[in-house]
Amino acid sequence: MRDTPDLALVLRPIRADLAAVVRRILQELRDPVARRVAYLVTAGGKRLRPGLVLLSGLRGPSPDRRALRDAAAAVEMIHTATLIHDDIVDSATTRRQRPAFHRRWGAERAVLTGDYLYASAFSLLARLRQADPLRIMADVCQQLSRGELLEVEARYRLDLSEAEYFDIIRDKTASLIAGCCQIGASLSGASPRILRRLGEFGLNFGMAFQIVDDCLDLTGDPRRLGKSILADLDKGALSLPIIYLAQTLSLRQRRTLFEPLRRRATDPASLAKIATAAHASGSLGQAMRRAEQFAERAQACIAQAGVDGFGQTYQELARYALVRGE
Ligand code: FPP
Ligand code: MG
C-alpha cells in the first residue's frame, strides 16, 4: 500500500469529464452574485468527490454522461460550500494556497455565498428528475452539519474517545464521499448490492482520508497542503493521533503537555511540542495504521463487489488516501 499514486494520474480515465464538470459549475454560477465562487473552484482542489460520482456512474453499456456530470457538479458545489462555511467555523486563514473566502470577502458574504451554493446544487440535482440523488444528498447534508456541530461541541474535550472521533469524521467527511459513490451508482442503474458496496467503499475511504488529513495537520507541508498546519489543534479540535497520545502519557505528562490547551492559550511553541510528542510516542504512526485499516477495508469492498470498470482506479484511490501530501 505504499507507492505514491498521483491523484491526477489516478483520475486520468475521467479527465475530460472532470473538466466538463468544472465548466458546468461555472455555467451554473453565472449570476454576478455568485461569480466569486470561481475564486475557489478554479484554485485547484482535488476533484475527488465529483471524480467518485463519475467513476461510480460511468459503467454499463450506455451511461447518462450528462446526468452524471450534473450530479458531479452538484456535489463539488456542496463540497465548496462546506469549505467556505468550515473556514469561518475554524477561523482558517488559507485555503488552496489563497486567502480563505471569508478573509477575502468577509463572513457575511461567505455565509450567504455558501448558502447560495447549497441551494444551487439542490436545484441542479432536482433537474435530474430522479428521487435518489436528491434523497442521498439531503441525508448527506444533514450528516455534514451534524458532524461539524459535534466537532465544535467536542472542542477542548481532552477525554474525547476514539469512538466519538470516528462518529464525527464519519459524518463530517465520509458521509459525503459515500454519497458521491451512491449517487453515481444510482444514476447508472446499479444493483442494490453494488450500490451498497460502493457506498461502503466511500465510507471507509472517507474515514482513511480524514484520519490522514488530521495527521497532516500535525506533520504536513503547508505549501503543499495549501492551508496552515496545527490549525485544528490550535482551535482545540482533538484528532486521532492526539487521542492516542493522551492514552500513552502519564497523568502528570498529560497535564504538562496539554496545559496550554486546557487554558485555551496555545501558541506555536506549545502546539509544536504536542505535534513532536505525537510523533515521538508513536501515536501518529498508530493513527496512520488505523487509516490503513480503513483503506484496506475500502479496497476489500471493491474486490468483493466485483465492480466492473475502474476497479483498478478505486484500488489506487484507496492507496492515494494514505500517502497524499496535499
Ligand atoms: C473540513 O474539516 C470540514 C468538513 C469536511 C465539513 C464541513 C461541514 C459543514 C461546514 C456543515 C455543512 C452544512 C450543510 C448545510 C451541508 P477540517 O476542518 O478538518 O478540514 P480542513 O483542515 O480542510 O479545514
Ligand atoms: Mg477546517
Q: How far is the CA of 37 from the centre of ligand 2 (A)?
A: 18
Among the listed residues 305, 112, 114, 288, the one whose alpha carbon sits nearest the alpha carbon of residue 215: 288
Domain with 59 in it: 7-323
Is the residue at 2 inside a domain? no
103 backbone dihedrals φ, ψ, rounded to 5°? -75, -30
Judged by phi (left if over 0) then psi (alpha if -120 to 50, else beta), residue 97 lies in: left
Closest-CA residue, ligand 1 atom 7, reads: 82
Is the residue at 71 inside a domain? yes
Residue with cell 464538470: 21
| Model pLDDT, residue 308 | 72
Distance CA 306, CA 293 (A): 20
Is the residue at 48 inside a domain? yes
Q: Does any ligand 1 atom lie closer than 6 A to the CB of residue 270?
A: no
Ligand with minimal distance to 210 CA: 1
Residue 287's contacts (CB-CB under 8 Å, 6 or more residues apart) are: 211, 214, 215, 239, 240, 241, 244
Is the residue at 1 inside a domain? no
Q: What is the CA radius of gyration of the chain?
A: 20
Residue with cell 452574485: 33
Q: Which atom of ligand 1 is closest in space to residue 176's alpha carbon?
A: 5
| Model pLDDT, residue 306 | 77
Closest-CA residue, ligand 1 atom 12, reads: 145
What is the 8-class DSSP label of residue 60? S
| Model pLDDT, residue 5 | 61
Beta bridge partners of 10: none
Q: Does any ligand 1 atom lie closer than 6 A to the CB of residue 234?
A: no
Give the number of domains in the chain. 1
Ligand with minimal distance to 84 CA: 1
Ligand with minimal distance to 95 CA: 1
Q: Which atom of ligand 1 is closest in space to residue 82's alpha carbon?
A: 10
Residue with cell 464521499: 177
Q: Which atom of ligand 1 is closest in space to residue 210's alpha carbon?
A: 19
Is the residue at 243 inside a domain? yes
Residue with cell 466519538: 164
Residue with cell 463540497: 79
Q: Which atom of ligand 1 is closest in space to residue 87's alpha carbon?
A: 24
CB of 10 closer than 8 Å to CB of 320: yes
Q: How far is the CA of 148 from the centre of ligand 1 (A)?
A: 6
Block means of pLDDT (10 residues each) for the chain, 326 residues, are: 68 94 95 90 90 91 91 98 96 93 97 96 97 97 98 96 98 98 95 94 97 93 85 93 96 96 94 95 97 97 82 92 78
Q: Does any ligand 1 atom lie closer than 6 A to the CB of residue 76?
A: no
Residue 283's contacts (CB-CB under 8 Å, 6 or more residues apart) are: 241, 242, 244, 245, 247, 248, 277
Ligand with minimal distance to 148 CA: 1
Q: How far is the CA of 316 from the centre of ligand 2 (A)?
A: 26
Distance CA 281, CA 56 (A): 40
Among the listed residues 120, 130, 29, the one whose alpha carbon sits nearest the alpha carbon of residue 78: 120
For ligand 1, pick from 95, 141, 144 the residue to mutate: most ligand atoms within 8 Å of CB.
144
Q: Which atom of ligand 1 is closest in space to residue 141's alpha carbon?
A: 16
Distance CA 230, CA 274 (A): 10
Beta strands at 98-99 and 94-95: parallel, antiparallel or unpaired: antiparallel
Distance CA 273, CA 45 (A): 30
Look at the pTM and tell me if it is higher than 0.75: yes
Among the listed residues 201, 192, 84, 100, the one whose alpha carbon sits nearest the alpha carbon of residue 144: 84
Q: Which atom of ligand 1 is closest in space to residue 85's alpha carbon?
A: 10
* Upper half-sphere CA count for residue 117 (Cβ side, 13 Å): 28
SS3 207: helix
Q: Tell me the CATH number at 22.
A: 1.10.600.10
SS3 94: strand
CB of 277 closer than 8 Å to CB of 245: yes
| Model pLDDT, residue 326 | 57
Closest-CA residue, ligand 1 atom 13, reads: 145
What letter represents residue 124's amino acid?
L
Lookup: cell for 249? 502519557
CB of 18 closer than 8 Å to CB of 313: no
Q: Does any ligand 1 atom lie closer than 6 A to the CB of residue 299?
A: no
